[in-house]
Structure 1
Amino acid sequence: MRNQNQPVASEGYPFIALFAFVTLVFALLDWDLPAFVLLCLTLFTVYFFRNPERIIPGEEGAVLSPADGKVIFVGKVMEERYFKEEVDKVSIFMSVFNVHVNRAPCSGKILDMFYNKGEFFNASLDKASLQNEQAGMLIEAEGGQRLLCVQIAGLIARRIVTYPVIGDMLERGMRYGLIRFGSRVDIYFPPGSEIRIGVGDRTVAGESILGSLR
């Protein structure tokens, strides 16, 4: 899969190249202020698409955070698509300053995937989980438990990228996609899971433990 061992996600290359080219044109025309603004925009784009390495915990059964950001919801909800019962959900909000490369929360096989076009409400709002553009994947963990991970576009995000397809095997902590420019990830735990994170906590994708499967 893409972006496993490179410092900047490949999805950012077109934006970086465009802004860098316009910066160069303005600099050659001696348009100092526009050139400076475009240079800052180029550097921010490189920063936004950064793809740092992470130290993956080895704890058996641990569910890792798929995203950098802030936990904005932890609680029980009805999940109608797959579980069709009340399960625990954890929602993580990513601002434009967070790393936006998403990582697999657990090792396992992708059983199913879905994509909904949707709206573009602020990703921190509750209705974003239902109405925003989103892409989800149902993972069967090594112990047979099922976990649902949903990428949700935010207010200014317009592109969700998911690398694997149905049937692919994921390794816990590996990069599996990204969302451009502000977004959210919801994780639905199977019944009987232990949640070990709270609202307001900060998470690091591939390192922070959200809970554990039983």
Structure 2
Amino acid sequence: MFHKEGYKIITSTVLLLLAVNIISYLSINTYWIKFSILAVSIVILIMILQFFRNPKRLTQLDSSYAVSPVDGKVVVVEEVFEKEYFKDKRLQVSVFMSPINVHVTRHPVGGIVKYSKYHPGKFLVAWHPKSSEENERTTVVVENSEFGEILYRQVAGALAKRIVNYAVEGEEVAQGSDSGFIKFGSRVDIFFPLNTKINVKLNDKVKGGLSVIANI
């Protein structure tokens, strides 16, 4: 199963690689060159398909905990000052996605979308300390019955040149449902109230929609 954000790229890639291999088959007489072009084409197609895969995740709905919004590795667990929306101290958990991770972004909690905003910006590497504030990003706040308001931010990286955000202010969203997509690697920051129990630590591997990262 593939994410809808990948349909155009997958189709274009298949057509381009098909054309390249037809041309090589008709115009190149050397067998090993033909085989090499075919092998490289297969590798490229596999990479594109695995990047846009969208595995079905059965999130156990529970308003008392938050699930990870993405697959990846926990790179930040700390108390910070969140200055865009809350303008106070929060507990931040950040998950970094490599190019081989699933890149679907999922809502960590269910509730009402109170805030959704896109910010143009730079493309610093995703682990750069200032990437959360200076890179291209989207910020979403969902009001949850147990946690109150939870903020999560999709952050572009050096390779991620496109962020897709589906959250619309005023809409009700389900925990674990699609919130967006980040193309070609990056990170997501989640900001919790200070009284939240964080269930992950640095370098933990998490699964979007499945791994419980925090409890109220």
How far, CA to CA, are the matches of 1:109 and 1:58 in structure 2? 15
Q: How does 1:47-196 map to 2 (within 5 A)?
A: 47-143=50-146, 145-196=148-199
Asked if the contact 2:199–2:212 (Cα under 8 Å) also holds between the matched residues in 1, the reply is: yes
* 1:98-157, Cα deviation, whole Å (9 max, x unpaired): 000011100100001111111111102211111111001111002360000100011111
Please list every run of 5 or more consecutive structure 2 residues that lacks an aligned counterpart in the other structure: 29-33
Partner of 1:24: 18
Question: 2:5 aligns to what?
Answer: 11
AA of the residue aligned to 1:43: I
How far, CA to CA, are the matches of 1:164 and 1:39 in structure 2? 35
Give TM-score, length-normalised by structure 1. Answer: 0.92
Structure 1 residue 208: deviation in Å?
A: 0.4
Looking at structure 2, the residues matched to 128 and 81 of structure 1 have their Cα atoms a distance apart, in angstroms, of 14
| Higher alpha-carbon Rg | 2
CA distance in 1: counterparts of 2:46 and 2:74, whole angstroms: 28
Residue 4 of structure 1 aligns with which residue? none
| SS of residue paired to 1:73 | strand
Aligned length: 207
Alpha-carbon deviation of 1:42? 1.6
Deviating runs (4+, > 6 A) in structure 1?
none
Q: Is the CA contact (8 Å cut-off) linking 1:20 and 1:38 kept in structure 2? A: no
The TM-score normalised by the length of structure 2 is 0.91
The CA RMSD measured in Å over matched residues stands at 1.3
Identity %: 35
Moved more, 30-39 or 46-55: 30-39
Aligned positions of 1:36-47 closer than 5 A: 36-47=39-50
SS in 2 for 1:12: helix
Distance 1:58 1:130 in 2: 31
